[in-house]
């Protein structure tokens, strides 16, 4: 399998759009994806984004979102090769400013008000409550590979969360339930001369919109329920459903959202570790992140 077929993908995209050459300039690149600005001989520019599985269906999500009226970048062409996706998209240019909380609330209202789309994977209550059990399955696979051997505390925490998951996941399909961006951060909201566009739809799904709102302030700092409550109130004020403030699973909306968002992240980190990254050298960093998030989950979900 080709390690990174970005050059061949770009060649295919150039051919599809009637171009022959382009100068590449890296914007952001990591092991599983990259974003570049390409400049054509006539001075026109475009954004070239490539990503490997499981991020290889973003073109479908972006086209679907655009069809349904969500402001997203236009895809000029897309191509697939050996489990990698390449997209040539309109160049939105530099942002005029960083997105702030009012921007995020307004964008979330638009996204969550979009009708649900059958092609997207679904995270309903049944799926949500299985997250700790799925994380335990990832841990078992890691241990069978002689990895994560000193993570008994991770197993204990996941067991506790799994036992409480059915009760705590109640309310998952309360509104807003529908489109979930899943990487909803200020960096994924481009504020340009011609308005705003949402970027990075590689992991979009149908599920509780509160997970988007919980992700807005990031996961680097400890979760801040009072701050999220203010954001939820902003969301409702600019047109979001009042049910966003409703208690669910015996918890406040903000604690439920932050707790389940962290649990969703834990399961994703562990799946990455065992399946998509699968590099023992990264284990210490993943274990640290999982421990930190699980501590938050136990507290927020009151397990």
For 34, 111, 161, 210, 215, the CA distances from 184, given in Å and listed in that order, are: 18, 11, 25, 11, 6
Cβ–Cβ under 8 Å, residues 225 and 129: no
Q: Are residues 74 and 112 in the same domain?
A: no
Q: Tell me whether residue 108 is in a domain.
A: yes
3-state secondary structure 108-171: HHHHHCCCCCCCCCECCHHHHHCHHHHHHHHHHHHHHCCCCCCCHHHHHHHHHHHHHHHHHCCC
Q: Are residues 81 and 115 in the same domain?
A: no
Q: Are residues 164 and 250 in the same domain?
A: yes
Q: Can you give the pLDDT at residue 237?
A: 98
Q: Is 124 exposed, middle or buried (0-12, 13-18, 19+ CB in 10 A)?
A: middle
Q: Which of 57, 89, 121 is where one domain is finished?
A: 89
Q: Tell me if residue 78 falls in helix, strand or coil.
A: strand
Q: Are residues 115 and 80 in the same domain?
A: no
Q: Are residues 71 and 209 in the same domain?
A: no
Q: Show the low-confidence residues of the chain (pLDDT under 50).
A: 1-2
Average per-residue pLDDT for the chain = 95
Q: Which of 39, 69, 89 is where one domain is finished?
A: 89
Q: Can you give the pLDDT at residue 3?
A: 72
Q: Tell me whether residue 95 is in a domain.
A: no
Q: Can you give the pLDDT at residue 152?
A: 97
Q: Are residues 82 and 137 in the same domain?
A: no
Domain that holds residue 222: 101-300
Q: Are residues 59 and 130 in the same domain?
A: no
Q: Tell me whether residue 1 is in a domain.
A: no
- CATH code for position 16: 3.30.200.20
DSSP for 227-260, please give it: HHHHHHHHHHHTT--GGGGS-BTTB-HHHHHHHH
Q: Can you give the pLDDT at residue 1?
A: 42
- Total domains in the chain come to 2
């Amino acid at each position: 399998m080709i390690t990174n077929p970005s050059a061949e993908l770009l060649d295919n995209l150039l051919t599809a759009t009637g171009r022959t050459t382009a100068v590449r300039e890296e914007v952001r690149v990591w092991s599983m994806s990259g974003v570049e600005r390409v400049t054509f001989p006539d001075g026109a520019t475009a954004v070239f984004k490539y990503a490997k599985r499981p991020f290889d269906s973003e073109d479908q999500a972006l086209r679907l979102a655009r069809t349904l009226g969500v402001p997203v970048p236009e895809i000029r062409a897309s191509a697939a090769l050996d489990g990698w996706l390449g997209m040539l998209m309109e160049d939105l240019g530099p942002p005029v400013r960083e997105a702030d909380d009012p921007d995020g609330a307004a964008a979330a209202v638009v996204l969550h008000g979009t009708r649900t789309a059958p092609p997207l994977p679904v995270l309903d209550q049944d799926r949500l409550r299985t997250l700790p059990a799925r994380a335990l399955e990832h841990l078992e696979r890691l241990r069978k590979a002689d990895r994560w051997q000193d993570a008994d505390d991770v197993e204990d925490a996941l067991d506790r969360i799994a036992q409480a998951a059915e009760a705590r996941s109640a309310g998952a399909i309360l509104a807003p339930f529908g489109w979930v961006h899943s990487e909803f951060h200020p960096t994924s909201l481009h504020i340009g001369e011609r308005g705003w566009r949402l970027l990075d739809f590689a992991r979009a799904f149908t599920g509780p919109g509160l997970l988007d709102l919980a992700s807005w302030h990031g996961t680097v700092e400890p979760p801040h329920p009072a701050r999220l409550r203010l954001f939820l109130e902003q969301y409702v004020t600019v047109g979001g459903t009042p049910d966003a403030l409703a208690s669910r699973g015996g918890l406040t909306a903000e604690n439920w959202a932050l707790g389940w968002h962290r649990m969703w992240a834990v399961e994703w980190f562990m799946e990455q570790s065992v399946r998509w990254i699968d590099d023992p050298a990264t284990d210490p960093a993943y274990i640290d992140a999982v421990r930190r998030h699980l501590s938050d989950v136990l507290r927020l979900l009151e397990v």
